[in-house]
Each structure stands twice: as structure tokens, then as C-alpha cells.
């Protein structure tokens, strides 16, 4: 159950040292993480998203900006702080399609040339037939993959754990997940295997988790929160966790989902990113890109998006430092806003 500590951390995270303890109850409600709704409600939320009746801007951003203005006034405005996440490397089909490595190289070249710091979701191994239930085969990350990871690190890329094998446990595209249905002990053991494989490849102790297919059981959240500081989500997460804003502390970790129109290809994201820059929201804006989605126009839209958002993209290490401060600092009555 979300705690008062989560509420205080969220106020600190989004409002700095401003005191909202005795302020508008709407602010309190916004920053108190809500419970995971019942299954029928989650299903209704997911349908509403598909129909355009529930969206990220109306369901979260507008409320967040109103809360920031009510407490911080004119100081609430500022450049967007884009948090860019990329799914994934190695691309989940890379074992069966070795040419995918070149696709990943080109994607990284575009992002690095534009100077866009971002989070790369790293699959700890290459997997044969990851969309086929019960399949077997694969291999550890090899010299070529590790070389590109090291290049990414030199270019300012941060890393997240992206499951362990990216192999689904369910045939239906609507249910694909590497984690759903596992007991907490089984999920923990699977995550530990992925963590060990990443360490062998030179990525030790990632603080961020990106679930393959954006799906994990809500009951598995405590297991994830024990291992990671940030747990990401996407549109598919709504059917399992419900619709939530973010970043928001909940149960000891930060939940950070991303939804349309910022969970899309670069061509779709571009006009929204332009509007957000004009809005000057002064807060974190998650963006999720996918390597293969940018091949359609030979990475041209990705290049334009990178040039646009590069100056406003926050390094994930800076974001994690903000989380650490919010973990340790509590709002104090009468304290001036931190800027």
C-alpha cells in the first residue's frame, strides 16, 4: 500500500523544498500514489486509452503542471527535462537475425551525433525465438555486443536491465511477458540471473528496470522494488498496474510509465516534443523509442528528433541523483522552494 513516506518523497521530488503539507488537497491527492485498481477498472482504463478518452497529457501532465503552478508560481516554468529511454539492445531478435547489430549501431550513431543522453534497456543475453513459448537456445553477450555497449557508455548512455531473456511465457500478443505468472521467488531468481549476465558484460548493478513487453504482475512490484530504484512501464502496463502518472515513488521505488504520444516512433513524437518545449513545463517528460521503429524512414525522423530534444534531454544519472535527494529530504513547513 502506498505510504506517507512515498507522498513526502513525491512532494520533494516534484516541488523541491516547498511545503505542501498544509496546502491544496488536490496537490496531496496527485502526489499520493494510488492503489492498483481492480481488474475491471484496469481493463476499462486500457480501452479508454485505445479510444483516446484517457491520455497522458490530460490524465497526468495537466494536473502536474497545475499543482506545480499552485505551489511554485512563476518558478514552475522551465525547459522540459526529457527522460529518453530506448528499447532495446541487443534487439530481441538479434540471435536469429545477426544483422540487427548493424541496426543498433546506426541508431546509436544518430543519437550520439545529436548529443541525446538516454537510457538503453539492455537484454542480458541473445535469445533464440523469443516470441515462441517453450523455445530454447541463445548465447551470452559477446565481444561485438560488449564493444558497442562500451561505446554507448563513453557517449553518455545509461543502462537498465531489460528482463533476462526477453522470451515470452505466453503465446498471445496481448499477454506476452517474461515475468507474469511467476511466483515472487521465481521472479527474483530470474532477475538475479539477468543481473549476473549483465555484470559479466561489464554492466554492474543497474538501478533501472524495464520489463520486456512492459508487462509484470502488480504482485511482483515489491520484488522489483527491492532490486531497482526505478521501475518503468508503458501502455501495456495499464492492464496490469492501472493508469498512473510518473515519476512517482510508490512502495519504496519510483514507477515511471510512458504512454502515447511519447511512446511512439520519432515521427509521431516530434510535434508533441515541439509543443512541450514551447509549454516550458519545467518537469520530467518521459519519451520511449524503439530501435526497429526508426528503420521505416532510414532514421531521418530520429535525427530530426535528436536535434530538437538534445539540448533538453536529462542524463539519467542526474535524474537518479534527484531521486536520491527526494529519498533523503523531507519537505519542511515554511521552507522556501528549491530551484
In a domain, 290, yes or no: yes
pLDDT at 12: 92
Q: Could you tell me the CA-to-CA distances from 294 to 113, 268, 290 in Å, in that order?
A: 16, 11, 7
CATH for 206: 3.20.20.370
Distances in Å between the Cα of 275 and the Cα atoms of 233, 239, 271, 288, 328 are 23, 29, 6, 17, 34
Flag whether 153 is in a domain.
Answer: yes
Q: Is residue 50 part of a domain?
A: no
Tally of domains in the chain: 1
Grid cell in block for residue 160: 537498465
Please enumerate in sequence order all residues whose Cβ is within 8 A of that of 185, keeping only pairs 6 or more positions apart, or say none: none
DSSP state of 153: H
Phi, psi torsion values for 92, nearest 5 degrees: -60, -20
Return the pLDDT at 238: 98
Specify if 279 maps to a domain: yes
- Of 284, 283, 229, 234, residue with least CA distance to 251: 229
First to last CA, the chain: 31
In the block, residue with C-alpha cell 499552485: 70
Instruction: Give the pLDDT of residue 20.
Output: 55
Quick one: pLDDT at residue 338?
37
Model pTM score:
0.93
- Whether the CB-CB separation of 160 and 232 falls below 8 Å is answered with yes
Cell numbers placing 337: 522552494
Q: HSE of 264 in the Cβ direction (CA atoms, 13 Å)?
A: 15
CB 184 within 8 Å of CB 168: no
Q: Which segments of the chain have a pLDDT < 70?
A: 1-2, 17-23, 329-339
**46: in domain:** no
Model pLDDT, residue 330: 55
Strand 253-257 to 230-233 pairing? parallel
Maximum Cα interatomic distance, the chain, rounded to a whole number of Å: 60
Q: Do 127 and 95 meet the contact criterion of CB atoms below 8 Å apart?
A: yes
Residue 333, CA atoms < 13 Å, CB-side half-sphere: 2
Examine residue 88 and state whether it is found in any structural domain, yes or no.
yes
Q: Are 201 and 141 in contact (CB under 8 A)?
A: yes
Contact (CB, 8 A) for 210 and 232: yes
CA distance 319 to 111: 19
Residue-level pLDDT at 23: 55
Quote the CA–CA distance of 121 and 88 in Å, as a whole number: 5
Give the pairing of strands 138-140 and 230-233. Answer: unpaired
pLDDT the model gives residue 333: 39
Answer whether residue 139 is part of any domain: yes
Domain range holding 253? 76-328
Q: What is the pLDDT of residue 13?
A: 93
Amino acid at each position: 500500500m502506498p505510504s506517507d513516506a512515498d507522498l513526502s518523497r513525491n512532494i520533494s521530488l516534484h516541488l523541491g523544498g516547498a511545503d505542501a503539507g498544509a496546502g491544496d488537497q488536490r496537490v496531496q491527492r496527485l502526489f499520493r500514489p494510488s492503489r492498483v485498481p481492480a481488474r475491471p477498472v484496469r481493463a476499462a482504463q486500457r480501452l479508454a486509452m485505445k479510444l483516446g478518452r484517457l491520455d497522458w497529457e490530460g490524465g497526468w501532465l495537466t494536473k502536474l503542471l497545475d499543482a506545480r503552478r499552485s505551489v511554485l508560481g512563476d518558478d514552475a516554468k522551465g525547459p522540459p527535462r526529457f527522460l529518453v529511454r530506448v528499447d532495446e539492445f541487443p534487439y530481441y531478435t538479434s540471435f536469429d537475425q545477426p544483422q540487427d547489430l548493424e541496426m543498433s549501431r546506426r541508431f546509436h550513431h544518430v543519437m550520439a551525433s545529436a548529443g541525446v543522453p538516454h537510457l538503453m534497456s539492455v537484454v542480458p543475453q541473445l535469445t533464440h525465438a523469443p516470441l515462441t513459448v517453450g523455445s530454447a537456445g541463445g548465447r551470452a553477450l559477446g565481444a561485438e555486443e560488449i564493444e558497442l555497449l562500451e561505446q554507448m557508455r563513453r557517449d553518455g548512455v545509461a543502462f537498465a536491465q531489460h528482463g533476462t531473456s526477453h522470451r515470452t511465457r505466453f503465446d498471445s500478443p496481448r499477454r506476452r511477458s517474461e515475468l507474469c505468472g511467476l511466483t515472487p521467488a521465481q521472479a527474483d531468481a530470474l532477475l538475479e540471473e539477468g543481473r549476473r549476465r549483465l555484470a559479466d558484460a561489464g554492466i554492474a548493478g543497474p538501478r533501472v528496470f524495464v520489463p520486456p513487453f512492459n508487462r509484470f504482475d502488480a504482485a511482483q512490484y515489491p520484488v522489483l522494488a527491492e532490486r531497482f530504484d526505478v521501475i518503468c512501464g508503458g501502455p501495456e502496463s495499464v492492464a496490469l498496474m492501472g493508469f498512473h502518472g510518473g515519476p512517482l515513488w510508490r512502495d519504496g521505488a519510483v514507477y515511471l510509465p510512458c504512454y502515447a504520444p511519447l511512446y511512439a516512433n520519432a515521427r509521431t513524437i516530434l510535434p508533441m516534443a515541439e509543443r512541450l518545449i514551447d509549454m516550458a513545463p519545467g518537469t520530467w517528460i518521459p519519451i520511449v523509442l524503439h530501435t526497429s521503429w526508426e528503420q521505416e524512414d532510414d532514421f531521418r525522423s530520429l535525427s530530426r528528433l535528436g536535434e530538437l530534444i538534445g539540448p533538453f534531454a536529462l542524463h539519467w544519472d542526474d535524474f537518479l541523483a534527484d531521486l536520491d535527494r527526494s529519498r533523503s529530504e523531507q519537505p519542511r513547513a515554511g521552507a522556501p522552494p528549491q530551484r
